[in-house]
Amino acid sequence: MIHISIILINYNSAQDTLECLKSLQKIKATHYKYSIIIVDNASKEPFELPGMFENEPITVLHSQSNKGFTGGNNMAMYYAVEQYNSDYVLLLNNDTIVDEDFLKELL
């Protein structure tokens, strides 16, 4: 089955990230699997995943320093390949609200 890793970079914008995650919870995945990887890019208050997302396919990685957008995405892409052997990687801004069928349409 196809696996897609969705990558979000969080830097001092936890509320945006949470709103994005709420919209990602509504994805209808029928012919593929997906996971969400969040890189907290050394935020002043480290991003922690609230309990409402505990049963979701979400991983939070914490960077010790702000690696910037590129460095954070690279960190997550390495993780996606190592952990999930992802077929596709989607870089998504954390202030994005998605439609439930967006991933199906992209695929």
Within 8 A by CB and 6+ apart from 80, the residues are 5, 7, 35, 37, 86, 89
Residue range 18-49, pLDDT digits in tens: 999 999 999 988 889 999 999 999 999 999 99
Across the strands, what pairs with 2?
Answer: 32
DSSP state of 4: E
Residue range 61-97, pLDDT digits in tens: 999 999 999 999 999 999 999 999 999 999 999 999 9
Write down the pLDDT at residue 29: 83
pTM for the structure as a whole: 0.95
